[in-house]
Amino acid sequence: MIEVLEKAARACGDLLLDLREKHLQTFEKGGEQLGAHFATQGDFRSQDLGIQIVRKVYPDEIIIAEEQENAAEIPPNCTVFDPVDGTIAYYNGCREFGITLCTLREGRPQYGVIYFPVDQMLISAVRGQGCFIHGEKFTIRWNRPLDKTMIGIDVGPWTVYEVVQPLAKRFCVRSIMVAVYGARAVLLGETGAYFSLNIAKIWDAAAGVLAVEEAGGVACAPDGSPLRWDAIPMDWVLAANRELAEHILLHTKRWRGRET
């Protein structure tokens, strides 16, 4: 399965770069009220291609993908797929966007892939076997003092400022704006932690969470509990180590959660 996911991610990345050389048509996303949320034909064509590649080998695989209608409840065995995580970055010619696929087995991420086409960076993870960058096994190494640590977040009209503002008194806070890049930043030591509240979906989280865990980092829900993988809305905390995670959780635990 991991080889199939890697093949799909690379193919989608090549397609997206080719399409971006041309004029990208955009489509408004109905029901989205939180900021500049839209899709391009790159999102839809990447999704079609990725699903085609996975289904060629696994014809019965359930695929939960961003640009389609999905059931509210996530089955325990499926593949979640974001054909372009960071559509705004993609559309505006930035490098901080990626393709991500993650296969869940028995309700947990089992195989995950994130691919950054501009950098040709492939991050893969298999539960119990490790995290790999460009095919080489990778472990997070963090040795910076807390008072010089950068924390990654997403900033927009959905931002939970009662969490961000106290953290900003202790840490330098960086707006990432792309969930898979948030995971990459923790893996590579650009930030000591990253958290996403009030906006993201399961396909934004799954592969990055698996990669950070398999690389020796920490992933959990904002209240410190283990993450659940049975619904589309997703909020999570990533950290290079437990000490950093506890500093973030001190504030995210005060969050009352998404409004229903």
Q: What is the per-residue pLDDT across 93-128, written as a single tens digit (0 to 9) for each?
A: 889 999 999 999 999 999 999 999 999 999 999 999
**To the nearest 10°, the Cα dihedral for 161, 209, 211, 69?**
-110
The percentage of the chain sitting over the pLDDT mark of 70, rounded to a whole number, equals 95
Which of 34-38, 85-89, 98-102, 199-203 is the least confident region? 34-38
CA atoms within 13 A on the CB side of 18: 8
Which of 39-43, 162-166, 228-232, 246-250 is the least confident region? 39-43
pLDDT in tens, 119-156: 999 999 999 999 999 999 999 999 888 888 999 998 87
222, two tokens? 């904002």
Going by C-alpha positions, the residue among 6, 31, 29, 35 that lies closest to residue 98 is: 6
Q: Which pLDDT value is given to residue 20? A: 87
Place of tokens 């029901």: 31
Residue 26 carries which side chain, given as an amino acid letter? T
CA distance 174 to 168: 10
Stronger pLDDT, 90 or 50, i.e. the higher one = 50
The percentage of the chain sitting over the pLDDT mark of 90, rounded to a whole number, equals 73
Q: Which pLDDT value is given to residue 29? A: 67
Stronger pLDDT, 211 or 168, i.e. the higher one = 211
Mean pLDDT of the chain: 92
Q: Which pLDDT value is given to residue 245? A: 96
Q: What is the DSSP string of 23-54?
A: PPPEEE-TT--SSS-EEEHHHHHHHHHHHHHH
Place of tokens 């080719």: 18
pLDDT in tens, 18-64: 998 887 777 766 655 444 577 788 889 999 999 999 999 999 999 99
Question: Is a pLDDT exceeding 70 seen at residue 259?
Answer: no
Q: Which pLDDT value is given to residue 72? A: 86
Q: What is the mean pLDDT of residues 202-221?
A: 98
CA atoms within 13 A on the CB side of 162: 7
